[in-house]
Amino acid sequence: MKNLKKVIKVALVISPIVVLASCNSNKAKYEDLATGEKVYIIKDSQTGMAMDSISQKPVMFYVDLDTKDTINGKTGEVVNNKIVKDAEGKYEMAKSDLEQQIDNMKSEDDVKIKVENDGDYKIKTDDKKIKIEDGKVKIKTDN
């Protein structure tokens, strides 16, 4: 009977230690790129956005620690080498060359840009029209 009491006492003392040790070993598979913290990612059922399962906060970009891939939290797309860190230290998708050219054109006077639902672009300037459909570029000049 004394042995049983000793075993129970030892079990009661060791159990919390084992539980705490197992809770502290963070075996998370992902790391939030913005915070550097290890996170458990779940998908928000309404928005489809990646969420930290513990804090319930959205995760814009995260790193899969097994594959070392960077993943967009909105789309689930692997975005290795497609993101940049802005002056405030926040990560965002890098603009493609085409998007950069369009932004530059927007700053010019008399430029009209139309983006259609299917992703096609129509750009009109004083002397040319640019049409981008299904990745194909057509340029018409007034000359």
Does position 78 have pLDDT exceeding 90, yes or no? yes
Q: What is the average per-residue pLDDT within 103-132?
A: 75
pLDDT of amino acid 39: 95
Q: Which helix (H) or strand (E) holds 128?
A: strand 128-133
Q: What is the pLDDT of residues 5-60, one digit of tens each?
A: 776 766 566 655 555 455 544 577 999 999 999 999 999 988 889 999 999 999 99
pLDDT of amino acid 24: 47
Nearest alpha carbon to residue 120 among 132, 128, 112, 129 = 132
Q: Determine the Cα–Cα distance for residues 141 and 14; give it in Å rounded to an integer.
A: 81
Phi and psi of 99, rounded to 5°?
-60, -40
pLDDT of amino acid 66: 94
Q: Determine the Cα–Cα distance for residues 47 and 62; give it in Å rounded to an integer.
A: 17
SS3 35: coil
Does position 68 have pLDDT exceeding 90, yes or no? yes
- Which of 62-71, 81-90, 94-103, 126-135: highest mean pLDDT? 62-71
